[in-house]
Amino acid sequence: MKKKLVILSGAGMSAESGISTFRDAGGLWDKYPVEQVATPEGYARNPELVINFYNERRKQLLTVKPNRGHEIIAELENHLDVTVITQNVDNLHERAGSSKVIHLHGELTKVCSSYDPNNPHYIKELLPDQYEVKMGDLAGDGSQLRPYIVWFGESVPKINDAIDIVMQADYFVVIGTSLNVYPAAGLLNYVPDKVPVYLIDPKEVRVPSDCHVHVIQKGASEGMEELKNSLI
């Protein structure tokens, strides 16, 4: 039986592919206030602004591709039972070939009901020629189609699935996340004792003092190249 590798990826994972991070200087939150485009209140005030913001994010997906870090994670499925838990809403892990991906914060390529965002009956995957969602495009329940994104102030429906996976890990790897965003950052607390924990990030990340973490201070691609030799 293959050992279980659990990856927690954040914005730094996709930054090498050219997708803007949200929190870094010059990131999306500098250009678009969180309150306007990533809260239920912002959506209620100006749904057209929010819908257009995510239309632009979707169009960006057509101009980028997975980086070597994404590819190595997918290739590790030949040797390990790999599950990716990602805070990212892009589809780069899937495009690289990863078969088990849990999206904590939603998926950019999907839309859902404004009334009942997590009702699976109304969650729809968009094909690239459908990436432009307009006001008046309706879900099956008659509500405006909204981005299938977990906004600030909304619950994270996949967090319990993620916790269950982390508790089974034989290796736990954190890539490109500040460990400031909860509940995702709290997943570290569920890693079993004595399971090796690795953190890949070119910047210095403040790690909880009670966690023993092997730090690889490199970008996603370089870091995964280095780490793969330790895992297989």
Catalytic positions, please? 105
Is-contact 156 183, C-beta < 8 A?
yes
Positive or negative, the Cα torsion across 127, 131, 136, 140?
Answer: positive
Exposure b/e, 155-172, CB count within 10 A at least 16 = b: ebebbeebeebbeebebb
Is-contact 160 176, C-beta < 8 A?
no
Exposure b/e, 189-227, CB count within 10 A at least 16 = b: ebbeeeeebbbbbbeebeeeeeeebeebebbbbbbbeeb
- Going by C-alpha positions, the residue among 223, 215, 220, 158 that lies closest to residue 19 is 220
- Going by C-alpha positions, the residue among 197, 203, 231, 196 that lies closest to residue 217 is 203
CA dihedral of 49, 53, 55, 61, whole degrees rounded to 10: 180
Interatomic CA distance for residues 104 and 1, integer angstroms:
27
Classify residue 4 by its DSSP letter. E
